[in-house]
Amino acid sequence: MKALHNLVEKVKPQFEKGGRFQKFYRTFEAFETFLFVKGDVTTRGSHIRDAMDMKRTMFHVIIALTPVLLFGMWNVGMQHFKAMGEEAAFMDQFLFGLIKVLPLVVVSYASGLIVEFIFATIRDHEVNEGFLVSGMLIPLIIPVTTPLWMVAVATVFAVIIGKEVFGGTGMNILNPALLARAFLFFAYPAYLSGEENPAGNFVWTQAPADQAVDAYSGATPLAEAATASAAGDVSASQMMESMPSAFEMFIGTIPGSVGETSTLLVLLGAVILVATGVGSLRIMLSVVVGGLFTGLLFNLVAVNPFMELPAYYHLIMGGFAFGTVYMATDPVSASQTGSGKYIYGFLIGVITVLIRVVNPAYPEGMMLAILFMNVFAPLIDHYVVEANIKRRMKRLKPVAEQSA
Amino acid sequence: MSKVIHIKRGLDIPLEGAAEKILQTPSRTAIYAVKPTDFHGLFPKMLVSEGDKVKAGTPLFYDKYNEDVVFASPVSGTYKQLVRGAKRRILEVRIEADPQDDYVDFGAADPKSLSREEVREKLLKSGLWPVIRQRPYSVIAHQEDTPRDIFISAFKSTPLAPDMDFVVNGQEESFQKGLDALGMLTDGDVHLSMHSENTTSPAFTEAKGVVLHRFKGPHPAGNVGIQIHHIKPINKGDIVWYLDVQDVITIGRLFEKGIYDASKIVVLNGSEVLKPRYYRVLSGVNITAFTQDNIRKEEETTPRFISGDVLSGEKIPPDGFLGFYDGQLTVIPEGDKPELLGWLIPKTDKFSVSRTFFSFLMPWKKYRLNTNIRSGERPFVVTGIYEKVLPMDIMPMQLIKSIMINDIDKMEKLGIYEIAPEDFALPEYVCPSKIEMQTIVREGLDSMQKEFA
């Protein structure tokens, strides 16, 4: 440790004011504080501070994301060999996925961090840790076939427009990772919706569509449900037959974005987030309640097969679980008040299912629902704060009467 | 007696170095000092000139903006030196102490036989007035106000806080006399808040002329601000006064003996103290009187001396003077050493409210925490943790943000009148973004005060 620290101290003057690389001071500092908790002491206020800091908070989200990342890698390989009709060993499947997914992660981190470093330098503040999580989320919520240049463009867009224009981490209104996905889906619809893209690949599975075995559709369960429902003359049970079984969807051996398919491992991540206190259980639960509630409501009035789909299906299909646990709980873009979180989460669940079932143009509703509620979270908070103010004003009255 | 008020939200930070209940009287130090900086917003004007002889109770300086409020010498001796800081601000008024104290006689009297004006006059003359502070703003009370109520907390819940039962022991009569005097100053009540189980001293449990309350729960249950909030909250236009138990005793002695007897009991504790104990000293004492040969010496660590508790006390030099309102000196190690991957490795010597460290698995463990700030300052990111350590119907994050943007209207509506910096010490402690909340609260209070001045 001493030697490493001496090394850091030795090169430090080069980056400080007057040094050769003073423009890169913030970048240097980011690496320095990554390696060492600095010897800075409190000067005012509380003399001791909790051991928890931003780095550790973000790091725990990364830990919680690891299971879905690893599973996602394996599933990418598994889906590929399945589409091609080939048998492959577990490690081959995993390695295939690793080779496909790792570049996404690297590109996402590299492009996003460059923007972060530039803005930190211009604004002369410390590099914030927020992107550590966003950079991992982005590759997990896009199809594995997304071209790398698109990942870079989307990430840069999301970090600049979604975050830095508002003042950086902690000031953003929208969840940056979701914004990157939304950008991709609206800017390159030909590539990222439907079942094939112009390159002739399946969208969700890394395999050329014309070489795939016939039985392989490459569609996500949500897309299948939407198509079947739009076709009209199928019953709900026929529709469910065309989809993967609930068990498969729960385990996650289905096509979909890299990290979203396995509800089981998302649950494991949720346990980690809730146990460490990093993720908000309030939000997670209320999203689930909102989704189930709307699903059941549709079951009651069912006029088409999609509405008859068991409500719990919504929880295991598509990005519902992933969005609930990792995206809706982003503390900055979510509601920041205690009771506001219930409303915020519940409405995300409601809107997600609403979009899925009612809007035929867009099979997945999670992303739009969260972004929509991100925009409304400040409004929810406003009313919660107003309620607090009113309560305080009311308190004033009885006391005034007493003393009168 | 009313029912027990159970404070559920809060946090007890388990620190090493609690004091044994042993009371010692160290020998007098050569120099005592009154620090005008202990009184927020005070602009001191000197009343004595260098070389003047003073007695205990002789006024040393007064408040430029409120000339009736004078600050008296705690000892008899010679006014020696003024220590100034940046912009010639007066930091310390130093007195070279005589071997024996000689007191100014203000005349003993039973406060109950005096009028409100006479009680007030006596407190102002003797330089004891500044022990009374007010909310809102957490500053010295104004003598022309009549407070709605007066609040006294009979227990402290801050980390390593002194045991007030032990402190009050043997001074029960003075305490009651002080309460009698305070009762004359308000049309409302004098509220005395005790701990439901730990407070047993009859000085508190059998106090007369006061309304008794019982609290239990973690820190900040002992903070007077929290108690006021749960007993009778402060609304716009209300003024309440508050003071410490030891200051009530000092007031009591003034009426008993007619003198300003500045002696108080100070606890010396913290992980760096070899023998943490209680000491009977005079206000304004030089801390070397009881820290000498009692501080752990290690090559790598420097100790930090804190007048007060670790959450909202003041850093003072190793040969500094105890603060006017403080009955505690805490010594903890400085955290000025960098730590390799310190944010990542969950060492067992770290304490955290979050369950990302192992401290939550070891509730019995005591910690030797240092002053490392652990990270640079970040904007607010994590939500919902500040409420967990602020047991008031106040939205901490929203209030802090309204102060940051200096939105007077919002601050008022969100409850700034009820709070003092010390109430935001725990939110500041837990903040993962390391936002300096106590400083922000003080700035907010200042701008409110200016707005309505």
Q: Give per-residue pLDDT as tens, B306-362.
A: 999 999 999 999 999 999 999 999 999 998 888 888 787 777 888 888 888 888 888
Nearest by CB to residue A41, choosing from B350, B372, B414, is B372
The residues facing B215 across adjacent strands are B5, B195
Same domain, B271 and B350: yes
Nearest by CB to residue A52, choosing from B356, B371, B376, is B356
Lowest mean pLDDT among A92-106, A218-232, A281-295, B177-191: A218-232
- Res A404: pLDDT: 43
Taking CB atoms and an 8 Å cutoff, what residues of chain B touch A280?
383-384
Specify if B335 maps to a domain: yes
Mean pLDDT, range A156-182, rounded to an integer: 92
Taking CB atoms and an 8 Å cutoff, what residues of chain B touch A129?
378
- Res A37: pLDDT: 83
Chains A, B: CB pairs < 8 Å:
205
Same domain, B345 and B393: no
- Position A400 pLDDT exceeds 70: no
Angle at B446 between CA B221 and CA B438, to 5 degrees: 40
Lowest mean pLDDT among A184-198, A339-353, B317-331: A184-198
Residue contact A41–B379, C-beta within 8 A:
no
Same domain, B351 and B270: yes
State pLDDT tens for residues A272-319: 999 998 999 999 999 999 999 999 999 898 777 788 888 898 899 888
Residue contact B356–A57, C-beta within 8 A:
yes
Whether residue B405 lies within 8 A of chain A, CB to CB, comes out as no
Nearest by CB to residue A48, choosing from B381, B394, B429, is B429
Specify if B155 maps to a domain: no
Lowest mean pLDDT among A83-87, A398-402, B56-60, B297-301: A398-402
- Please provide the DSSP assignment of A294-358 as one string: HHHHHHHH--SHHHHS-HHHHHHSTTHHHIIIIITT-TTTS--SHHHHHHHHHHHHHHHHHHHHH
In chain A, which among 200-259 make CB contacts under 8 A with chain B? none
Work out the pLDDT band at B248, boundaries 50, 70, 90: very high
Distance from CA of B120 to the nearest CA of A (A): 24
What does each C-alpha distance from B398 to A336, A399, B190, B384, B412 come to in angstroms?
Answer: 9, 25, 32, 11, 12
Domain stops at, among B316, B338, B357: B357
Same domain, B341 and B409: no
Mean pLDDT, range B114-130, rounded to an integer: 94
- Position B30 pLDDT exceeds 80: yes
- Res A39: pLDDT: 82
Taking CB atoms and an 8 Å cutoff, what residues of chain B touch A276?
354-356
Nearest by CB to residue B439, choosing from A5, A44, A54, is A44
Specify if B14 maps to a domain: no
Nearest by CB to residue A50, choosing from B353, B377, B414, is B353
Q: Which residue has the tokens 């600095």?
A: A38
Cβ atoms of residues A373 and A347 within 8 Å: yes
Testing the interface with A: which of B37, B369, B372 to mutate, by most A Cβ within 10 A?
B372
Q: Which residue has the tokens 């100790």?
A: B303
- Res A336: pLDDT: 93
In chain B, which among 318-347 make CB contacts under 8 A with chain A? 330, 332, 334-344
Domain stops at, among B357, B375, B407: B357
Specify if B339 maps to a domain: yes
Residue contact B383–A5, C-beta within 8 A:
no
* pTM for the structure as a whole: 0.91
Testing the interface with B: which of A40, A50, A274, A374 to mutate, by most B Cβ within 10 A?
A50
Work out the pLDDT band at B434, boundaries 50, 70, 90: very high
Nearest by CB to residue A126, choosing from B313, B376, B429, is B376
Specify if B158 maps to a domain: no
Mean pLDDT, range A87-105, rounded to an integer: 92
Q: How far apart are CA B369 and CA B297, in angstroms?
A: 16
Same domain, B398 and B441: yes
Same domain, B267 and B332: yes
Residue of chain A whose Cα is closest to the Cα of B348: A51
Give counts: helices (H), strands (E), chain A.
18, 1
Report ipTM (2 d.p.): 0.91
Work out the pLDDT band at A40, boundaries 50, 70, 90: confident
Q: If you compute the radius of gyration of chain B from its CA atoms, what whole number of angstroms results?
A: 22
Specify if B83 maps to a domain: no
Same domain, B273 and B325: yes
Residue contact B353–A53, C-beta within 8 A:
no
Cβ atoms of residues A315 and A262 within 8 Å: no
State pLDDT tens for residues A211-239: 777 777 777 888 877 777 777 667 777 77
Beta strand pairing call for B211-216 and B190-195? parallel
- Position A9 pLDDT exceeds 90: no
- Res B1: pLDDT: 53
Whether residue B436 lies within 8 A of chain A, CB to CB, comes out as yes
Distance separating the N- and C-terminal Cα atoms of chain B: 39
- Position A403 pLDDT exceeds 50: no
Q: CATH number, domain at B304?
A: 3.10.20
Residue contact A51–B306, C-beta within 8 A:
no
Specify if B412 maps to a domain: yes
Same domain, B353 and B307: yes
Work out how many domains chain B is built from and give that number: 2
- Position A346 pLDDT exceeds 70: yes
Whether residue A398 lies within 8 A of chain B, CB to CB, comes out as no
- Position B35 pLDDT exceeds 70: yes
Average pLDDT, chain A: 87
Q: If you compute the radius of gyration of chain A from its CA atoms, what whole number of angstroms results?
A: 24
Whether residue B24 lies within 8 A of chain A, CB to CB, comes out as no
Q: How far apart are CA A29 and CA A128, in angstroms?
A: 11
Same domain, B394 and B353: no
Q: How far apart are CA B210 and CA A140, in angstroms?
A: 64
Taking CB atoms and an 8 Å cutoff, what residues of chain A touch B344?
55-56, 59
Range of the domain at B270: 263-357
Residue contact B437–A332, C-beta within 8 A:
no
Distance separating the N- and C-terminal Cα atoms of chain A: 69
Average pLDDT, chain B: 92
- Position A379 pLDDT exceeds 80: yes
Specify if B281 maps to a domain: yes
- Position A20 pLDDT exceeds 60: yes
In chain B, which among 231-250 make CB contacts under 8 A with chain A? 232-233, 235-236
Which strand (E) or helix (H) includes residue A192?
helix A189-192
Domain stops at, among B315, B341, B357: B357
Cβ atoms of residues B159 and B194 within 8 Å: no
